[in-house]
Structures are given as C-alpha cells and as structure tokens.
C-alpha cells in the first residue's frame, strides 16, 4: 500500500486589503480596530472583486501547488474542493475548477473526478482524510485538494452584522496529495461531528423544507429576511466547543501515534479566532515558535486557512522536509478534525 504525502502547496488571496479601519470608513460599520483585535486578533482581511467566484480564486492556488509538486494538469487524477461558499447552489465548484484549469480543453481531455466537501472550517481536513484514503487505496496517484472561499459577497457589511462580518475574508489554498513508496506523508487523521449544535453556527439562506424554499413576493421575486440571508453564530458556545474539541482531537492523534507535543515541530491551527488558538496552545503547553498563524492578515478563510498556512510556511522556509506537523480545525456543524503529517 503506498503512502500519501503532500507533494505541493499553493495559495492565492485577492489584492484588496480591507483593514479593520476600512470596515468603519468604507462600509460604515460601528466598530473599532481595538475592539476587533482584542477579541479576534484580526487586523485585516482580503476581499475579492465583484465577478470573481470561488473557483476563480482557486485556480492560481492550484497552479502554484502543481508547479511546486513538479506535475502537470495531465497528472491530476482527482479534484476535491472544500468550501462553504460555492459558486452556485449546484453544481459544485469542483467541476468549474476543472474547466478553468484547462483539464477539459481539446488535446488535454483529463476528465478526472470532482468531489465537493461541505464541512465548512473543517472541510480541508475532511478532504485530506478522503484524499489520503484514495491514494492509499492505489486508485489514484495525484489528487488536487482545494480549500477556497469568497465570503465577502455573503457578509452583512453593516453594523447589524458586525460580529460576524469582521471575522471572515476571501482566499484559496491548495495541496497535491500524491502517492509515494517513501516512509513519509499523512500518518493518521481523526474526524468528528456533533449535530446537536448544527444551528449554533449556520447560514440558512434558503430552507428546502418550505414551499417554495425561498419566500416570493407578489411579482414572484424571492425575498430572504436578514436573519436567514446572513450567517448566525452563538459566539460563546462556539468558543467553548472549539477549545474542547480541538484539544480532544489532538489528544486522540497523539495517543494513536504514541507522540507528545514535544515530538511535533509545527502546529497549524485553523484560523478562526486567535484567542481560541492561544487558549488551546496554553492548555497544551505549546511554545510560540511551534505555532504558525496568519489570521491577523487574512481573517478566517474557513476551508482555506490550513492550506494557505502550509503554502506560506513552505514558501518562508519554516516548513521543511522531515518535519513532523499537526493540523487541527473546528467549525460549523459542529465538525472538527486533526491530522499528523511527516513532511
């Protein structure tokens, strides 16, 4: 059975930098830089321009990952796309990405399968577990795994929505999960979920149990109330469960691999809230030099946070061959996951 390892990493973020002060001056939100930084650690985020969809944002991230992996479009055996902000309700963004990458062009004809993952902030790790299993089965040699989000189009950028709107940004990260006979790669993973709290962090922009699923006015135009149009979050409950579940997932992985935190070179925590990550790190006794974070520059890019960090860390020379790393995430659902990787 082959091992599955990450052969390439890539990322892409929009050019438009939206600082906390920009939320005040550009969008008229009643907030302050001090208030946001104190509670979240976020100083800025990136917003994509109108006309740019989630699959568009993923293309340069994948191209960078392919280049670093030293493979071409013809070598792609599968696309797994994790996002909570797909280009459309359906089809999934994976097929749009396939076409935009040129896989379906005449003369290429790579009609690799496309799978979309809807596990929000944990989506990349659910995708990583899936890609690892596929590669280890021997069915495919190279899988493009993407986490990408265009949150800015669906944020309530007003004072009414400031508690959520200040958290999220746009971005895309990608990795290539490849087969190898070398003694390296994704060693183990753990996934979990607790549907009792599904409504605590949700965006019910339409309700498929209703007839019709979006209310219509007299002209037949759909109208959605703000409470359903935009994301809702029970902040304190999310914070509490994020800390508990992230620590629990890490402990399961350490026990499975007979490791301690001292055996790990770098930790990549999902970038939802710097205060959550600091609390987890304190409870685990982790030194600052073993943590990689970028939330202060990008905010929460949901499924994209971990692959963006991996790509940045590799580009900066902090992530090197032979290192043992841990990734962990928690998000809507509630869902969570962790993975241990020998780089």
Catalytic residues: 121, 270, 300
Q: Kindly give the pairing relationship between strand 266-269 and strand 291-292.
A: parallel
In terms of Cα–Cα distance, which of 51, 92, 96, 98 is closest to 78? Answer: 98
Q: Contact, 316 vs 167, CB < 8 A? A: no
């Amino acid at each position: 059975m082959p091992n599955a390892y990450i052969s390439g990493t890539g990322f892409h973020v929009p050019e438009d930098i939206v600082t906390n002060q920009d939320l005040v001056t550009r969008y008229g939100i009643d907030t302050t830089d001090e208030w946001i930084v104190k509670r979240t650690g976020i100083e800025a985020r990136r917003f994509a321009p109108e006309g740019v969809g989630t699959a568009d944002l993923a293309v340069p991230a994948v191209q960078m990952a392919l280049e670093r992996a030293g493979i071409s479009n013809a070598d792609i055996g599968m696309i797994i796309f994790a996002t909570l902000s797909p280009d459309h309700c359906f089809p999934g963004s994976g097929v749009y990405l396939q076409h935009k990458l040129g896989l379906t062009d005449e003369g290429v004809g790579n009609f690799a399968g496309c799978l979309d993952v809807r596990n929000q902030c944990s989506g990349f790790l659910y995708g990583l577990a899936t890609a690892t299993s596929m590669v280890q089965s021997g069915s495919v040699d190279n899988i493009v795994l993407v986490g990408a989000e265009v949150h800015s189009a669906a944020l309530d950028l007003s004072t009414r929505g400031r508690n959520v709107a200040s958290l999220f940004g746009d971005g895309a990260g990608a990795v290539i999960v490849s087969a190898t006979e070398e003694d390296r790669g994704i060693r183990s993973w753990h996934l979990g979920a607790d549907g009792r709290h599904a409504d605590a962090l949700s965006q019910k922009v339409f309700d498929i149990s209703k007839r019709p699923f979006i209310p219509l006015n007299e002209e037949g135009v759909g109208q959605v109330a703000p409470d359903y149009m935009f994301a809702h979050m029970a902040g304190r409950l999310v914070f509490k469960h994020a800390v508990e579940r992230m620590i629990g997932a890490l402990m399961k992985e350490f026990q499975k691999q007979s490791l301690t935190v001292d055996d790990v070179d770098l930790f990549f925590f999902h970038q939802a809230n710097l205060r959550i990550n600091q609390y987890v790190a304190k409870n685990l006794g982790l030194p600052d030099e073993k943590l990689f974070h970028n939330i202060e520059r990008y905010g929460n890019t949901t499924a994209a946070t971990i692959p963006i960090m991996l790509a940045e860390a590799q580009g900066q020379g902090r992530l090197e061959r032979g290192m043992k790393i841990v990734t962990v995430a928690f998000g809507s659902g509630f869902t969570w996951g962790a993975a241990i990787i020998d780089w």
